Amino acid sequence: MNNSHKTKREAIWFLVREKFPFIFLSIFAGIITIFAQKEGDALMPLYEMTLNERVSNSIYSYTLYLWKTFIPINFAIFYPHPGNTLSIFHLFCSAVLLLAISYGVF
């Protein structure tokens, strides 16, 4: 094996290895957050909302928060879940915008 490949591999492994503590801390913080949200009845059970509604809401919410980053109006402490009231047009526009931004970043 070429010596330069070995040093590249070692450098990459060093970079990955140094991230392990942060990955474990993130997982630990996520688990604590889930348990805390369950105790406060802030999490909705999986059977109360379809996967389609959850994915639609996440796509729309990403776009909404991006919009509020540039036009900071109508902020609220609590944003109620729109349920099944999202229009196909809003969902489509949100998905296209997110895909375009992702494509541009890559």
Closest-CA residue to 52 (of 43, 60, 40): 60
Q: Which domain holds residue 93?
A: 46-106
Same domain, 63 and 88: yes
CB atoms within 10 A of CB 51: 8
DSSP-assigned letters across all residues of 51-71: HHHHHHHHHHHHHHHHHHHHS
Do 56 and 34 have their domain in common? no
**How many domains would you assign to the chain?**
2
Residue by residue, pLDDT tens for the chain (106 residues) are 555 567 888 888 999 999 999 999 999 999 999 899 888 877 777 788 888 888 898 999 999 899 999 999 888 877 777 777 888 999 999 999 999 999 999 9
Residue 7 and residue 59 in one domain: no
pTM: 0.60
